[in-house]
Chains A and B, each alone.
Chain A
Amino acid sequence: MSSAQRSGRDGAVAITGLGAVSGYGEGTAALWAGLASGAAAIGPFRRFEHAKFRTQLASEVRAAPSQKGGRRSSIADRFALGAAREALAQAGLPSRLDDLGCGIYFGSSTGGMFESESYFADLLGQPHRASGIGRLTAQPTCSPGESVARAHGVHGPVQTVASACASATLAMGIALAALRAGEIEIALAGGSDSLCRLTYAGFNSLRAVDPKACRPFRSEREGMSIGEGAAVLVLESAVSAAARGARILGWLLGAGASCDAHHMTAPDPQGAGIARAVAAALADSGLAATDIDFVNVHGTGTPHNDAAEAGMLRSIFGDRLPALPLTSTKGAIGHYLGAAGAIEAVATLLCLLHGVVHPTPGEGTVDPALGLDLVTGSPRALPGARFALSTNLAFGGTNAAVILGAEPA
Protein backbone atom coordinates (compact mmCIF):
# COMPACT_ATOMS: atom_id res chain seq x y z
CA MET A 1 0.00 0.00 0.00
CA SER A 2 1.59 3.24 -1.07
CA SER A 3 1.13 6.37 0.94
CA ALA A 4 -0.08 8.09 -2.21
CA GLN A 5 -2.97 5.65 -2.43
CA ARG A 6 -3.79 6.09 1.23
CA SER A 7 -3.90 9.85 1.06
CA GLY A 8 -5.56 9.99 -2.31
CA ARG A 9 -9.05 9.36 -0.98
CA ASP A 10 -10.18 8.08 -4.35
CA GLY A 11 -13.69 6.89 -3.80
CA ALA A 12 -13.87 8.31 -0.29
CA VAL A 13 -16.72 10.58 0.73
CA ALA A 14 -16.50 13.37 3.25
CA ILE A 15 -18.38 13.30 6.53
CA THR A 16 -19.49 16.84 7.31
CA GLY A 17 -22.19 16.41 9.93
CA LEU A 18 -23.00 14.11 12.83
CA GLY A 19 -26.15 13.80 14.88
CA ALA A 20 -27.11 11.44 17.68
CA VAL A 21 -29.83 10.69 20.17
CA SER A 22 -28.61 8.14 22.69
CA GLY A 23 -29.02 6.83 26.19
CA TYR A 24 -26.72 9.65 27.26
CA GLY A 25 -29.18 12.23 25.95
CA GLU A 26 -29.69 14.33 22.84
CA GLY A 27 -26.70 15.30 20.79
CA THR A 28 -23.23 14.08 19.89
CA ALA A 29 -21.72 16.15 22.74
CA ALA A 30 -23.76 14.16 25.27
CA LEU A 31 -22.84 10.93 23.49
CA TRP A 32 -19.14 11.67 23.57
CA ALA A 33 -19.17 12.85 27.20
CA GLY A 34 -20.93 9.62 28.14
CA LEU A 35 -18.66 7.37 26.11
CA ALA A 36 -15.56 9.05 27.51
CA SER A 37 -16.87 8.73 31.08
CA GLY A 38 -16.63 4.96 30.91
CA ALA A 39 -20.00 4.68 32.69
CA ALA A 40 -22.68 2.77 30.79
CA ALA A 41 -26.07 4.34 30.08
CA ILE A 42 -27.73 1.00 30.82
CA GLY A 43 -30.13 0.59 33.73
CA PRO A 44 -33.77 0.36 34.79
CA PHE A 45 -36.23 1.64 32.20
CA ARG A 46 -39.86 2.79 32.09
CA ARG A 47 -41.04 2.62 28.49
CA PHE A 48 -43.26 -0.40 29.03
CA GLU A 49 -44.21 -2.86 31.73
CA HIS A 50 -41.50 -5.52 31.88
CA ALA A 51 -41.61 -6.93 35.42
CA LYS A 52 -42.37 -10.42 34.09
CA PHE A 53 -39.45 -10.55 31.66
CA ARG A 54 -36.34 -12.46 32.67
CA THR A 55 -34.20 -9.30 32.53
CA GLN A 56 -34.94 -5.77 33.74
CA LEU A 57 -32.40 -3.47 32.10
CA ALA A 58 -32.11 -1.47 28.90
CA SER A 59 -30.56 1.72 27.62
CA GLU A 60 -33.47 4.13 27.39
CA VAL A 61 -33.56 7.67 26.06
CA ARG A 62 -35.12 9.31 29.10
CA ALA A 63 -35.98 12.79 27.91
CA ALA A 64 -38.68 13.11 25.29
CA PRO A 65 -36.99 14.08 22.02
CA SER A 66 -37.39 17.79 21.49
CA GLN A 67 -38.05 17.24 17.79
CA LYS A 68 -41.73 16.37 17.79
CA GLY A 69 -42.51 15.81 14.16
CA GLY A 70 -46.12 15.23 13.23
CA ARG A 71 -48.79 14.20 15.72
CA ARG A 72 -48.45 10.58 14.66
CA SER A 73 -44.66 10.43 14.75
CA SER A 74 -43.35 7.40 16.60
CA ILE A 75 -40.60 7.65 19.17
CA ALA A 76 -38.24 6.19 16.56
CA ASP A 77 -39.33 8.89 14.09
CA ARG A 78 -38.59 11.59 16.63
CA PHE A 79 -35.16 10.14 17.44
CA ALA A 80 -34.37 10.23 13.71
CA LEU A 81 -35.63 13.80 13.35
CA GLY A 82 -33.51 14.95 16.29
CA ALA A 83 -30.36 13.29 14.96
CA ALA A 84 -30.93 14.60 11.42
CA ARG A 85 -31.50 18.15 12.61
CA GLU A 86 -28.22 18.12 14.55
CA ALA A 87 -26.27 16.60 11.65
CA LEU A 88 -27.62 19.13 9.13
CA ALA A 89 -26.84 22.03 11.44
CA GLN A 90 -23.28 20.85 11.96
CA ALA A 91 -22.83 20.38 8.22
CA GLY A 92 -23.97 23.96 7.67
CA LEU A 93 -26.82 22.78 5.46
CA PRO A 94 -30.20 24.48 5.36
CA SER A 95 -33.18 22.89 7.03
CA ARG A 96 -34.81 22.41 3.61
CA LEU A 97 -32.73 20.38 1.13
CA ASP A 98 -35.20 20.52 -1.76
CA ASP A 99 -32.85 21.22 -4.65
CA LEU A 100 -29.58 19.91 -3.27
CA GLY A 101 -29.60 16.40 -4.77
CA CYS A 102 -29.97 14.72 -1.41
CA GLY A 103 -30.83 11.10 -0.60
CA ILE A 104 -31.57 9.29 2.66
CA TYR A 105 -30.18 5.86 3.52
CA PHE A 106 -31.44 4.51 6.80
CA GLY A 107 -31.51 1.38 8.88
CA SER A 108 -34.25 0.32 11.27
CA SER A 109 -35.41 -2.94 12.77
CA THR A 110 -38.78 -2.06 14.21
CA GLY A 111 -39.83 1.46 13.13
CA GLY A 112 -42.98 2.37 15.05
CA MET A 113 -43.47 -1.08 16.56
CA PHE A 114 -43.76 0.30 20.10
CA GLU A 115 -46.74 2.46 19.15
CA SER A 116 -48.41 -0.41 17.28
CA GLU A 117 -47.96 -2.67 20.26
CA SER A 118 -49.67 -0.07 22.43
CA TYR A 119 -52.64 0.13 20.07
CA PHE A 120 -53.08 -3.64 19.96
CA ALA A 121 -52.65 -3.94 23.73
CA ASP A 122 -55.53 -1.46 24.13
CA LEU A 123 -57.56 -3.35 21.57
CA LEU A 124 -57.08 -6.65 23.39
CA GLY A 125 -58.03 -5.00 26.67
CA GLN A 126 -61.12 -3.25 25.29
CA PRO A 127 -62.13 -4.91 22.03
CA HIS A 128 -64.94 -2.43 21.33
CA ARG A 129 -63.43 0.71 22.81
CA ALA A 130 -59.84 0.90 21.59
CA SER A 131 -58.98 4.18 19.96
CA GLY A 132 -55.97 5.80 18.42
CA ILE A 133 -55.68 3.69 15.28
CA GLY A 134 -53.44 6.48 13.99
CA ARG A 135 -50.74 4.92 16.16
CA LEU A 136 -50.35 2.27 13.46
CA THR A 137 -49.31 4.70 10.75
CA ALA A 138 -45.67 4.91 11.89
CA GLN A 139 -45.33 1.09 12.00
CA PRO A 140 -43.25 0.62 8.83
CA THR A 141 -39.50 0.32 9.32
CA CYS A 142 -39.13 2.98 6.63
CA SER A 143 -41.00 5.53 8.74
CA PRO A 144 -37.99 7.15 10.49
CA GLY A 145 -36.14 7.81 7.23
CA GLU A 146 -39.28 9.03 5.49
CA SER A 147 -40.07 11.33 8.42
CA VAL A 148 -36.66 12.93 7.92
CA ALA A 149 -37.37 13.25 4.19
CA ARG A 150 -40.66 15.05 4.83
CA ALA A 151 -39.19 17.31 7.50
CA HIS A 152 -36.27 18.42 5.34
CA GLY A 153 -37.63 18.25 1.81
CA VAL A 154 -35.44 15.40 0.58
CA HIS A 155 -36.63 14.51 -2.91
CA GLY A 156 -33.89 12.09 -3.98
CA PRO A 157 -33.75 8.36 -3.18
CA VAL A 158 -35.04 7.53 0.31
CA GLN A 159 -34.24 3.93 1.23
CA THR A 160 -34.42 1.91 4.42
CA VAL A 161 -32.48 -1.30 4.96
CA ALA A 162 -34.13 -3.84 7.23
CA SER A 163 -31.41 -6.49 7.61
CA ALA A 164 -31.58 -6.56 11.40
CA CYS A 165 -28.46 -5.43 13.22
CA ALA A 166 -26.41 -4.79 10.08
CA SER A 167 -29.04 -2.42 8.64
CA ALA A 168 -27.48 0.98 9.25
CA THR A 169 -24.01 -0.22 8.24
CA LEU A 170 -25.42 -1.55 4.98
CA ALA A 171 -27.26 1.75 4.52
CA MET A 172 -23.96 3.64 4.79
CA GLY A 173 -22.53 1.37 2.11
CA ILE A 174 -25.46 2.09 -0.20
CA ALA A 175 -25.06 5.82 0.42
CA LEU A 176 -21.36 5.56 -0.38
CA ALA A 177 -22.09 3.79 -3.66
CA ALA A 178 -24.74 6.34 -4.65
CA LEU A 179 -22.39 9.24 -3.94
CA ARG A 180 -19.55 7.61 -5.87
CA ALA A 181 -21.85 6.99 -8.81
CA GLY A 182 -22.86 10.63 -8.81
CA GLU A 183 -26.53 9.77 -8.29
CA ILE A 184 -26.73 12.24 -5.41
CA GLU A 185 -24.66 15.10 -4.04
CA ILE A 186 -25.42 14.67 -0.36
CA ALA A 187 -26.56 11.68 1.68
CA LEU A 188 -28.09 11.48 5.11
CA ALA A 189 -27.06 8.02 6.29
CA GLY A 190 -28.21 6.71 9.61
CA GLY A 191 -30.71 4.71 11.53
CA SER A 192 -33.27 4.80 14.30
CA ASP A 193 -34.90 2.26 16.59
CA SER A 194 -36.84 2.53 19.84
CA LEU A 195 -37.31 0.06 22.64
CA CYS A 196 -40.34 -2.14 22.08
CA ARG A 197 -41.86 -5.27 23.53
CA LEU A 198 -41.18 -7.32 20.40
CA THR A 199 -37.41 -7.06 20.52
CA TYR A 200 -37.22 -7.02 24.31
CA ALA A 201 -39.31 -10.18 24.58
CA GLY A 202 -37.75 -11.77 21.52
CA PHE A 203 -34.14 -11.46 22.58
CA ASN A 204 -35.10 -12.49 26.10
CA SER A 205 -36.80 -15.60 24.76
CA LEU A 206 -33.60 -16.42 22.94
CA ARG A 207 -31.70 -16.02 26.23
CA ALA A 208 -29.60 -13.42 24.41
CA VAL A 209 -30.05 -10.63 26.99
CA ASP A 210 -27.66 -10.29 29.91
CA PRO A 211 -29.49 -9.87 33.26
CA LYS A 212 -26.75 -7.38 34.10
CA ALA A 213 -25.58 -4.51 31.91
CA CYS A 214 -23.90 -6.20 28.95
CA ARG A 215 -20.26 -7.20 29.32
CA PRO A 216 -18.72 -7.39 25.84
CA PHE A 217 -15.69 -9.68 25.56
CA ARG A 218 -15.63 -10.41 29.29
CA SER A 219 -15.35 -14.00 30.50
CA GLU A 220 -18.58 -13.46 32.46
CA ARG A 221 -20.64 -12.17 29.49
CA GLU A 222 -24.19 -13.51 29.21
CA GLY A 223 -25.72 -11.50 26.40
CA MET A 224 -26.59 -8.09 25.07
CA SER A 225 -28.37 -5.08 26.50
CA ILE A 226 -30.99 -3.55 24.26
CA GLY A 227 -30.80 0.16 23.64
CA GLU A 228 -32.55 2.80 21.59
CA GLY A 229 -31.73 5.96 19.74
CA ALA A 230 -30.70 7.30 16.38
CA ALA A 231 -27.70 8.62 14.54
CA VAL A 232 -27.26 10.44 11.25
CA LEU A 233 -24.13 11.19 9.25
CA VAL A 234 -24.04 13.78 6.47
CA LEU A 235 -21.98 12.34 3.62
CA GLU A 236 -20.94 14.19 0.51
CA SER A 237 -18.26 14.26 -2.13
CA ALA A 238 -15.08 16.17 -1.39
CA VAL A 239 -16.03 18.47 -4.24
CA SER A 240 -19.42 19.23 -2.71
CA ALA A 241 -17.93 19.83 0.73
CA ALA A 242 -15.26 22.12 -0.71
CA ALA A 243 -17.78 24.03 -2.81
CA ARG A 244 -19.90 24.70 0.27
CA GLY A 245 -16.91 25.50 2.41
CA ALA A 246 -18.01 22.81 4.83
CA ARG A 247 -15.73 21.59 7.57
CA ILE A 248 -14.73 17.99 6.88
CA LEU A 249 -14.92 15.90 10.06
CA GLY A 250 -13.62 12.69 8.53
CA TRP A 251 -14.07 10.27 5.68
CA LEU A 252 -16.10 7.23 4.83
CA LEU A 253 -13.49 5.25 2.92
CA GLY A 254 -15.08 1.95 2.14
CA ALA A 255 -17.79 -0.56 2.90
CA GLY A 256 -18.18 -4.31 2.61
CA ALA A 257 -20.92 -6.86 3.17
CA SER A 258 -21.38 -10.61 3.24
CA CYS A 259 -23.67 -13.34 4.52
CA ASP A 260 -22.77 -16.37 6.62
CA ALA A 261 -25.53 -18.48 5.04
CA HIS A 262 -25.14 -20.52 8.20
CA HIS A 263 -27.94 -20.13 10.78
CA MET A 264 -30.99 -18.01 11.64
CA THR A 265 -29.43 -16.52 14.74
CA ALA A 266 -25.95 -17.91 15.41
CA PRO A 267 -22.97 -16.40 13.60
CA ASP A 268 -20.47 -18.55 11.74
CA PRO A 269 -18.43 -19.77 14.76
CA GLN A 270 -15.09 -18.84 13.19
CA GLY A 271 -16.32 -15.44 12.03
CA ALA A 272 -15.57 -16.32 8.42
CA GLY A 273 -18.59 -14.35 7.20
CA ILE A 274 -17.74 -11.09 8.93
CA ALA A 275 -14.11 -11.60 7.88
CA ARG A 276 -15.26 -11.57 4.23
CA ALA A 277 -17.16 -8.31 4.83
CA VAL A 278 -14.09 -6.74 6.47
CA ALA A 279 -11.82 -7.89 3.63
CA ALA A 280 -14.27 -6.38 1.15
CA ALA A 281 -14.35 -3.08 3.07
CA LEU A 282 -10.55 -2.94 3.16
CA ALA A 283 -10.33 -3.63 -0.56
CA ASP A 284 -13.03 -1.03 -1.21
CA SER A 285 -11.12 1.60 0.72
CA GLY A 286 -7.73 0.76 -0.77
CA LEU A 287 -6.30 0.02 2.67
CA ALA A 288 -4.51 -2.95 4.17
CA ALA A 289 -5.30 -4.45 7.56
CA THR A 290 -2.04 -2.98 8.82
CA ASP A 291 -3.43 0.52 8.18
CA ILE A 292 -6.25 0.10 10.69
CA ASP A 293 -5.48 1.84 13.98
CA PHE A 294 -8.42 0.55 16.03
CA VAL A 295 -11.67 -1.37 15.64
CA ASN A 296 -15.15 -0.59 16.92
CA VAL A 297 -16.37 -4.16 17.00
CA HIS A 298 -20.00 -5.30 16.94
CA GLY A 299 -19.34 -6.65 20.46
CA THR A 300 -22.86 -7.44 21.61
CA GLY A 301 -21.72 -9.37 24.67
CA THR A 302 -23.34 -12.66 23.69
CA PRO A 303 -20.95 -15.58 24.10
CA HIS A 304 -21.33 -16.59 20.45
CA ASN A 305 -20.98 -13.16 18.87
CA ASP A 306 -17.87 -12.14 20.75
CA ALA A 307 -16.14 -15.45 20.08
CA ALA A 308 -16.98 -15.30 16.37
CA GLU A 309 -15.72 -11.73 16.17
CA ALA A 310 -12.48 -12.71 17.88
CA GLY A 311 -12.08 -15.36 15.18
CA MET A 312 -12.61 -12.75 12.48
CA LEU A 313 -10.12 -10.38 14.13
CA ARG A 314 -7.47 -13.14 14.32
CA SER A 315 -7.91 -13.99 10.67
CA ILE A 316 -7.75 -10.34 9.52
CA PHE A 317 -5.14 -8.90 11.88
CA GLY A 318 -3.04 -11.95 12.73
CA ASP A 319 -0.08 -11.25 15.01
CA ARG A 320 -1.08 -7.59 15.40
CA LEU A 321 -4.26 -8.47 17.26
CA PRO A 322 -2.93 -8.51 20.85
CA ALA A 323 -1.83 -4.88 20.42
CA LEU A 324 -4.77 -3.61 18.33
CA PRO A 325 -7.10 -1.43 20.42
CA LEU A 326 -10.72 -2.57 20.31
CA THR A 327 -13.87 -1.02 21.68
CA SER A 328 -17.56 -1.89 21.70
CA THR A 329 -19.94 1.05 21.87
CA LYS A 330 -22.63 -1.45 22.90
CA GLY A 331 -20.97 -1.83 26.29
CA ALA A 332 -21.86 1.83 26.85
CA ILE A 333 -25.29 2.28 25.27
CA GLY A 334 -26.49 -1.22 24.49
CA HIS A 335 -27.54 -2.57 21.13
CA TYR A 336 -29.42 -0.16 18.85
CA LEU A 337 -30.36 -3.02 16.48
CA GLY A 338 -31.19 -1.46 13.09
CA ALA A 339 -29.50 1.80 14.12
CA ALA A 340 -26.41 0.20 15.69
CA GLY A 341 -24.11 0.74 12.71
CA ALA A 342 -25.00 4.43 12.57
CA ILE A 343 -24.46 5.28 16.24
CA GLU A 344 -21.27 3.19 16.24
CA ALA A 345 -19.96 4.96 13.14
CA VAL A 346 -20.60 8.27 14.89
CA ALA A 347 -18.82 6.99 18.01
CA THR A 348 -15.92 5.78 15.88
CA LEU A 349 -15.57 9.11 14.14
CA LEU A 350 -15.71 10.92 17.48
CA CYS A 351 -12.81 8.70 18.61
CA LEU A 352 -10.83 9.73 15.51
CA LEU A 353 -11.67 13.40 16.07
CA HIS A 354 -10.54 13.25 19.70
CA GLY A 355 -7.54 11.00 19.12
CA VAL A 356 -8.71 8.53 21.74
CA VAL A 357 -10.52 5.20 21.80
CA HIS A 358 -13.51 5.22 24.13
CA PRO A 359 -13.60 2.48 26.77
CA THR A 360 -16.01 -0.46 26.75
CA PRO A 361 -17.93 -0.52 30.04
CA GLY A 362 -18.78 -3.90 31.54
CA GLU A 363 -18.11 -5.84 34.72
CA GLY A 364 -15.66 -8.72 34.86
CA THR A 365 -12.36 -9.53 33.24
CA VAL A 366 -11.56 -9.45 29.56
CA ASP A 367 -11.82 -13.04 28.34
CA PRO A 368 -8.17 -14.22 28.15
CA ALA A 369 -9.19 -16.95 25.71
CA LEU A 370 -9.98 -14.31 23.08
CA GLY A 371 -6.53 -12.67 23.10
CA LEU A 372 -7.83 -9.14 22.55
CA ASP A 373 -6.71 -5.65 23.56
CA LEU A 374 -10.09 -4.31 24.70
CA VAL A 375 -10.01 -0.69 25.90
CA THR A 376 -11.63 -0.62 29.34
CA GLY A 377 -11.96 1.81 32.23
CA SER A 378 -10.99 5.11 30.68
CA PRO A 379 -10.31 6.45 27.18
CA ARG A 380 -7.02 5.41 25.65
CA ALA A 381 -5.06 8.08 23.83
CA LEU A 382 -4.27 7.12 20.28
CA PRO A 383 -2.77 10.28 18.83
CA GLY A 384 -2.38 10.22 15.10
CA ALA A 385 -4.96 7.46 14.62
CA ARG A 386 -6.08 7.71 11.01
CA PHE A 387 -8.16 4.70 10.09
CA ALA A 388 -10.80 2.75 12.01
CA LEU A 389 -12.92 -0.25 11.20
CA SER A 390 -16.52 -0.64 12.43
CA THR A 391 -18.28 -3.97 12.12
CA ASN A 392 -21.83 -5.24 12.53
CA LEU A 393 -23.26 -8.75 12.44
CA ALA A 394 -26.95 -9.46 12.04
CA PHE A 395 -29.31 -12.30 12.79
CA GLY A 396 -29.79 -14.13 9.55
CA GLY A 397 -26.04 -14.06 8.97
CA THR A 398 -25.73 -10.69 7.27
CA ASN A 399 -22.44 -8.94 8.01
CA ALA A 400 -21.34 -5.41 7.22
CA ALA A 401 -18.22 -3.34 7.77
CA VAL A 402 -17.25 0.25 7.12
CA ILE A 403 -13.89 1.99 7.29
CA LEU A 404 -13.67 5.54 8.55
CA GLY A 405 -10.75 7.90 8.19
CA ALA A 406 -9.61 10.97 10.08
CA GLU A 407 -9.28 14.38 8.45
CA PRO A 408 -6.71 15.10 7.17
CA ALA A 409 -6.44 11.58 5.77
Chain B
Amino acid sequence: MSPLTDADRITPDLLLRLKRLIVATLHIEGLDPEAIGDDQPLFGEGLGLDSIDALELVVAIEREFVVAIPEGKVDHDVFRSVRTLALWIAERVAQRAPGSAS
Protein backbone atom coordinates (compact mmCIF):
# COMPACT_ATOMS: atom_id res chain seq x y z
CA MET B 1 0.00 0.00 0.00
CA SER B 2 1.44 3.29 -1.04
CA PRO B 3 1.84 6.00 1.60
CA LEU B 4 -0.79 8.72 1.84
CA THR B 5 0.02 11.83 -0.13
CA ASP B 6 -0.76 15.40 0.94
CA ALA B 7 -3.66 15.48 -1.45
CA ASP B 8 -5.15 12.36 0.12
CA ARG B 9 -5.02 13.83 3.60
CA ILE B 10 -6.59 17.19 2.71
CA THR B 11 -10.20 16.30 2.06
CA PRO B 12 -12.80 18.83 0.90
CA ASP B 13 -14.55 18.24 4.22
CA LEU B 14 -11.49 19.31 6.17
CA LEU B 15 -11.03 22.45 4.07
CA LEU B 16 -14.66 23.47 4.54
CA ARG B 17 -14.54 22.68 8.25
CA LEU B 18 -11.57 25.03 8.60
CA LYS B 19 -13.23 27.79 6.61
CA ARG B 20 -16.34 27.58 8.76
CA LEU B 21 -14.19 27.67 11.87
CA ILE B 22 -12.40 30.80 10.66
CA VAL B 23 -15.62 32.67 9.93
CA ALA B 24 -17.32 31.58 13.16
CA THR B 25 -14.30 32.21 15.38
CA LEU B 26 -13.45 35.61 13.98
CA HIS B 27 -17.06 36.78 13.59
CA ILE B 28 -16.48 37.84 10.01
CA GLU B 29 -19.88 39.26 9.11
CA GLY B 30 -21.24 38.64 5.65
CA LEU B 31 -18.51 36.22 4.54
CA ASP B 32 -19.62 32.88 3.13
CA PRO B 33 -17.06 30.29 4.31
CA GLU B 34 -17.14 28.64 0.91
CA ALA B 35 -16.06 31.94 -0.66
CA ILE B 36 -12.65 31.63 1.01
CA GLY B 37 -10.19 30.28 -1.51
CA ASP B 38 -8.14 27.19 -0.53
CA ASP B 39 -4.94 29.05 -1.35
CA GLN B 40 -6.06 32.58 -0.50
CA PRO B 41 -3.56 34.24 1.88
CA LEU B 42 -5.08 34.53 5.35
CA PHE B 43 -3.18 37.65 6.36
CA GLY B 44 -2.48 41.02 4.80
CA GLU B 45 -3.91 41.50 1.35
CA GLY B 46 -5.72 38.17 1.33
CA LEU B 47 -8.40 37.60 3.93
CA GLY B 48 -7.02 40.55 5.92
CA LEU B 49 -6.48 38.77 9.20
CA ASP B 50 -4.07 40.13 11.79
CA SER B 51 -2.08 38.89 14.77
CA ILE B 52 -5.04 38.95 17.14
CA ASP B 53 -7.00 36.85 14.67
CA ALA B 54 -4.07 34.43 14.61
CA LEU B 55 -4.23 34.15 18.39
CA GLU B 56 -7.94 33.38 18.30
CA LEU B 57 -7.50 30.96 15.44
CA VAL B 58 -4.77 29.01 17.23
CA VAL B 59 -7.02 28.54 20.26
CA ALA B 60 -9.98 27.54 18.10
CA ILE B 61 -7.99 25.05 16.00
CA GLU B 62 -6.42 23.45 19.07
CA ARG B 63 -9.88 22.88 20.51
CA GLU B 64 -11.57 21.77 17.33
CA PHE B 65 -8.91 19.29 16.24
CA VAL B 66 -7.39 18.44 19.62
CA VAL B 67 -3.92 19.37 18.47
CA ALA B 68 -1.26 21.55 20.09
CA ILE B 69 0.18 24.22 17.86
CA PRO B 70 3.71 25.06 19.00
CA GLU B 71 4.49 28.76 19.11
CA GLY B 72 6.97 28.44 16.27
CA LYS B 73 4.33 27.02 13.96
CA VAL B 74 2.20 30.17 13.99
CA ASP B 75 4.09 31.32 10.94
CA HIS B 76 3.52 31.90 7.29
CA ASP B 77 4.27 28.30 6.36
CA VAL B 78 1.43 26.82 8.40
CA PHE B 79 -0.84 29.87 8.60
CA ARG B 80 -0.43 30.92 4.99
CA SER B 81 -3.74 29.62 3.69
CA VAL B 82 -6.56 27.24 4.49
CA ARG B 83 -4.71 24.55 2.50
CA THR B 84 -1.44 24.87 4.43
CA LEU B 85 -3.34 24.82 7.70
CA ALA B 86 -5.30 21.78 6.60
CA LEU B 87 -2.13 19.94 5.63
CA TRP B 88 -0.48 20.61 8.96
CA ILE B 89 -3.59 19.53 10.88
CA ALA B 90 -4.04 16.42 8.76
CA GLU B 91 -0.46 15.37 9.43
CA ARG B 92 -0.88 15.81 13.21
CA VAL B 93 -4.16 13.89 13.21
CA ALA B 94 -2.63 11.10 11.11
CA GLN B 95 0.34 10.78 13.48
CA ARG B 96 -1.82 10.19 16.52
CA ALA B 97 -4.34 7.87 14.78
CA PRO B 98 -4.22 4.21 16.00
CA GLY B 99 -2.26 1.95 13.66
CA SER B 100 -0.62 4.79 11.88
CA ALA B 101 2.83 3.82 13.06
CA SER B 102 5.24 5.82 11.02
Contact = CB atoms under 8 A, between A and B. Distances in A.
Label chain A's interface by main secondary structure. loop
A137 B53 CA distance: 11
A133 B52 contact: yes
Label chain B's interface by main secondary structure. helix
Contacts of A71: 26-29
A131 interface: yes
A97 B55 CA distance: 33
Nearest to B49: A71
Nearest to B60: A131
B40 interface: no
Interface string B75-87: 0000000000000
Looking at A131, A133, A137, the one whose CB has the most chain B CB atoms below 10 A away is A131
B25 interface: yes
Interface string A108-150: 0000000000000000000001011110010000000000000
Contacts of B93: none
Contacts of A129: 63
Contacts, number: 22
B59 interface: yes
Interface string B51-74: 011011001100100000000000
A72 interface: yes
Nearest to B52: A134
B52 A131 contact: no
B59 A131 contact: yes
A134 B53 contact: yes
Nearest to A135: B27
A133 B28 contact: no
Contacts of B55: 133-134
B52 A132 contact: no
A193 to B, nearest CB: 23
Contacts of B29: 71
Interface string A326-358: 000000000000000000000000000000000
Contacts of B52: 72, 133-134, 137
A137 B59 CA distance: 17
A134 B59 CA distance: 12
B28 A132 contact: no
Interface string A58-101: 00000000000001100000000000000000000000000000
Contacts of A132: 27, 56
Lowest 10 CB-CB distances: which A-B pairs, in order?
Answer: A134-B52, A134-B56, A133-B56, A137-B52, A131-B25, A131-B56, A133-B55, A131-B60, A71-B27, A71-B28
Interface of A: 71-72, 129, 131-134, 137
16 contacts: A71-B26, A71-B27, A71-B29, A72-B52, A131-B25, A131-B56, A131-B59, A131-B60, A132-B27, A132-B56, A133-B56, A134-B52, A134-B53, A134-B55, A134-B56, A137-B52
Given A71-B28, A131-B56, 13 more contacts: A71-B26, A71-B27, A72-B52, A129-B63, A131-B25, A133-B56, A133-B59, A134-B26, A134-B52, A134-B53, A134-B55, A134-B56, A137-B52
